Structure 1
Amino acid sequence: MEIPVTGYVVHNKDSDSEHSHILYLTSWNGRPIHVHEFSGVTSFDVGHDHRYAGKTEPAPSGVKHVHHYCTFTSVDNDHKHIIKGTTGPAIPLPRGGHYHYFEGCTSVSGLTPHAHQYCGKTGNELDYC
């Protein structure tokens, strides 16, 4: 099954030998795509917590979908964690648009190895372009 996509490619000046370009999609199967911002604070473990913020990966608008996400936490207590996962399905907002619920556990890090729990809701959808 072929799905038509549109977009553009930009040369990545910070490239290595394997990744010299970045692909930006602008539509998926004729539908515009969008992203969501997300942010929050992790659980308090081993005497500290971390803050995090990021944007989801793009997904097509107007159809059932989820988003993948990945970001780093703030550096606290001399270390940081990776936050990575997939949102739940779209939840409609009363005045249009939608948001997604997300939750998970960070990567293990720190002098005393540990992880943190996190959860939240994304912001409303944002045009990707």
Structure 2
Amino acid sequence: MKQPVIGILYHADPPTSGEPRNEDHTHELYLIEWDGRPPHVHDFAGITSFDAGHRHRYAGTTGPAPSGVPHTHDYYTVTTLNQGHTHVLQGRTGPAVPLPGGGHYHLFAGVSTVNGRPPHTHHYRGRTGHAHP
């Protein structure tokens, strides 16, 4: 079954002066519409593991994905500032988990970037909120 998709396709910029030309470049599609519907996103929030004597809070919104088909979402956020530093949390959610009354959520988990004194990471895991356009 074919799904009509409307989006904007971006490609890699040409190499800057002195860089070798790379014929293997990537494209990225930014969805605008999937089968007549706009893509959706999820909010997410939580608290990291306790490491190096502290925790961090985090919150964000996932990247967009199509509705009505199996999918995941990319996510990126920066933690709260604690003990003079922050961490980046970045990754991809698991697949959609259906809810009994309709809609769905996604699970996510990972390890933050290294930062702070002493240099350390934090683990995190959670569940997104319900989807919204």
State the TM bucket, normalised to the shorter chain: 0.7 to 0.9
User: What's the counterpart of residue 18 of structure 1?
Assistant: none
Aligned length: 110
SS in 1 for 2:108: strand
User: What's the counterpart of residue 73 of structure 1?
Assistant: 79
User: What's the counterpart of residue 100 of structure 2?
Assistant: 94
Structure 2 unmatched runs, 5+: 9-29
- CA drift at 1:28: 2.8
Deviation >2 Å, runs of 4+: 28-32
Larger Rg: 2
- CA drift at 1:48: 0.2
Deviations 1:67-124 (A, max 9, x none): 0000000000100000000000000011110000000000000021000000000000
User: What's the counterpart of residue 109 of structure 1?
Assistant: 115
Calculate the aligned-residue CA RMSD, in Å: 1.8
Q: Which of 7, 27, 30 matches 2:33?
A: 27
| Residue identity (%) | 55
User: What's the counterpart of residue 21 of structure 2?
Assistant: none
User: What's the counterpart of residue 5 of structure 1?
Assistant: 6
Structure 1 unmatched runs, 5+: 8-23
Q: Which of 43, 48, 53 matches 2:54?
A: 48
- CA drift at 1:57: 0.1
SS in 2 for 1:36: strand
